[in-house]
Amino acid sequence: MRRLSNDEIAEILYEIGEYLDMQGVQFKPRAYEKVAQTIEGLQEEVADIYKKGGLKSVEDIPGVGVSIAEKIEELLKTGKCKYHQDLKKKTPVDLASLTRVEGLGPRKIKVLYKKLGVKNLSDLEKSAKAGKIAKLEGFGEKTEENILKGLEFVKKSGGRFVLGFVLPVIRDVEKRLRGLKGVEAAQVAGSVRRWKETVGDADILVISNKPAVVMDYFVSMPEVGRVLAKGETRSSVTLKNGMDIDVRVVSKESYGSALAYFTGSKDHNIELRKIAISKGYKLNEYGLYKGKKNIAGKSEEEIYKALGLDYVEPEMREMTGEIAAAKKKALPKIIGYGDLKGDLQTQTNWTDGADSIEKMAKAAMERGLEYIAVTDHTKRLAMTGGLDEKRILKQMAEIDSLNKKFGGKFRILKSTECDILKDGGMDLPDEILKKLDIVGGSVHSLFNLSRKDQTERIKKAMANPHVDIIFHPTGRLIHKREAYDVDMDEVIKTAKKTGTVLEIDASPDRLDLKDEYIKKCVDLGVKMTIDSDAHSASQFEFLEFGIAQARRGWAQKNDIINAWPIEKMLKFLK
């Protein structure tokens, strides 16, 4: 269980207050808000207070009574609070949808609900279009404009889900199906198995000799919001989070062909079927048939082989040249999920991260990494407490002493996520950048510059002899914020010319670079890094999404500098 920071605990308490308030409950909301404020301002971590003195000492925090103390205890022990989750479910306001609009958190939503009666996205749109939001205290025209922009984006997402946000529940369902009586295998297929950035639904295949057990269990899972269909071997449900899951029970003899069929993509399937026909076979979800005989249905490997193709990894099945390459036995050996040796973007509690440098390093070690770069923000990002010259020097000293403590078993690299200024200059002076092991640069402001200016800005940063990496190069947030307008071909070319590395940011809603740009980098020999962009020790988990993205872009180990041993990686940098 990951340790919750004071800010995270406060956030949940604030939310409880807001939910209660939206339900018209008296007094209690204010009590939660006050405790949240107190906890935000505490010097000592609540987790430490609890560890030392238990429930009793949590009750000693001003404003905390026994009932709030118990909720804090539950949060610290389980990471969740049932009361909070129940309230969330019960509020008349569709928070799940409304919070998808960038910039709208529970606090703002509460005001919109109380003053304007906004309960869902369509209410929100009406109010914004009528200019009612701009008139509210604390909102203004700019906010209203942003809400409208955010709404457009939510609409565009068209019922698709960011894979990283829904994968935990999909895996959980998969695992529980696997544990049912009579089940031999359960495996998610479809776009989830291809690791697409966003997925429409999840398609799970099961081998079982007791299909009824699988169906009964599946439609009665606690996550299910609505049963769409229940059959003997196939059922569909909508989960409470809005996503659909289909489950099909198939026979062992057809498992490989069903897996291939339901993994897709559709275009890839169509091409496979054509090849089958050209060889006088027939391919469908039940098998690969020669006449009436199923010659290869048990495994995907058998099917590809029988069709004269090398096995194609699911992440590559998008009809972007993989079939031609598989025919010629020319598919690259793409990077594996266990291939990273380091992580070159992590934030700590020196700025907006939740955990100390040491804790981040230990979590990385546990994941089998050999090095991380600590890349806290810089001073221009004032709201994160970005580091100035003095504090980054102090941080470097702390890193030196931690490295000494680790005695060569692990290495923390001194680094920065340095803001790129409007003119392409850097937010820290060269004398400081020079002292760091690695320098990353990021655009965090002025997203609306013209394409020409934005491109020049980034090119100038890349020309800086100290800047090694450009982090999240296009700045997009999937479903929330469009990439800034930038000529990526030009950026990739400049990366090549200047020896600058481009980042694949593994945060599930960044995944920036996109697969098509990764492919361009691979083709041109531009090196990349896959970073978690972790803001807490648990977020090293994100790395697998970055690796998946790299695989979708056909990247090999040699294309990814943090898949290299540290000496080789450091030698490559500028």
Instruction: Look at residue 332 and give the partner it binds from Ca ion, Zn ion, ligand DGT, none, a contact being a CB closer than 5 to 8 Å depending on partner kind.
Output: none
Stretch in the footprint of ligand DGT (CB under 6 A) among 46-54, 149-157, 188-196, 407-415: 188-196
Residue with the shortest CB distance to ligand DGT: 264
- Residue 197 near Ca ion by CB under 5 A: no
In this structure, are residues 282 and 288 in contact, taking their beta carbons and an 8 Å threshold?
yes
Pairing status of strand 234-239 against strand 161-162: unpaired
Q: Establish if 351 lies at the interface with Zn ion (CB under 5 A).
A: no
By CB under 6 A, name the one of 77, 210, 266, 422 that touches ligand DGT: 266
Token code pair at residue 566: 């540290």
Residue 265, preceding peptide bond in cis (omega within 30° of 0): yes
Query: Cα separation of 180 and 170, whole Å?
Result: 16
The amino acid occupying position 33 is E
What is residue 506's three-state secondary structure? coil
SS percent in the chain: helix, strand, coil, step 5: 50, 15, 35
Q: Where are the alpha helices (DSSP H) in 42-181?
A: 46-59, 66-78, 82-90, 95-98, 106-116, 121-129, 140-156, 163-178
The DSSP 8-state label assigned to residue 214 in this structure reads: H
Query: Least distance (Å) from ligand DGT to the CB of residue 201?
Result: 5
Of 17, 106, 150, 190, the one binding Ca ion by CB under 5 A:
190
Residue with smaller CB distance to ligand DGT, 284 or 538: 284
Q: Which x/- pattern, by CB under 5 A, does the window 369-408 give for Ca ion? A: ----------------------------------------
Among 197, 203, 271, 505, binds Ca ion (CB under 5 A): 203
Q: Contact between 174 and Ca ion (CB under 5 A)? A: no
Q: How far is CA 397 from CA 25, 335, 436, 526, in A?
A: 51, 35, 11, 33
- 455 near Zn ion, rule: CB under 5 A: no
Considering the rule CB under 6 A, would residue 203 count as an interface residue with ligand DGT? yes
Alpha-carbon gap, residue 239 to 433, rounded angstroms: 49
Count of residues near Ca ion by CB under 5 A: 5
Q: Which region among 351-359, 436-444, 455-463, 538-546 touches Zn ion (by CB under 5 A)? A: 436-444
Q: Tell whether residue 201 is a contact of Ca ion (CB under 5 A).
A: yes
# of chain residues touching ligand DGT (CB under 6 A): 14
Residue 442 is a binding residue for Zn ion (CB under 5 A)? yes
Beta-carbon contacts of 527 under 8 Å, excluding residues fewer than 6 positions away, are: 501, 502, 521, 559, 560, 561, 572
What φ, ψ does residue 413 adopt, rounded to 5°? -95, 140
- Residues from 344 through 363 that contact ligand DGT (CB under 6 A): none
DSSP string, 60-99: TSTT--HHHHHHHHHHHHHS--HHHHHHHHH-SS-HHHHT
Residue 442: contacted member of Zn ion, ligand DGT, Ca ion, none (CB under 5 to 8 Å, by partner type): Zn ion
For residues 98 and 550, give the distance between their C-alpha atoms in angstroms, rounded to a whole number.
Answer: 32
Binding region for ligand DGT (CB under 6 A) out of 37-45, 262-270, 464-472, 481-489:
262-270
- Closest separation between CB of residue 168 and ligand DGT, Å? 17
Contacts of Ca ion in 108-127 (CB under 5 A): none
Where does this chain bind Zn ion (CB under 5 A)? 442
Where does this chain bind Ca ion (CB under 5 A)? 190-191, 201, 203, 246
Where does this chain bind ligand DGT (CB under 6 A)? 190-191, 196, 199-201, 203, 261-262, 264-266, 269-270
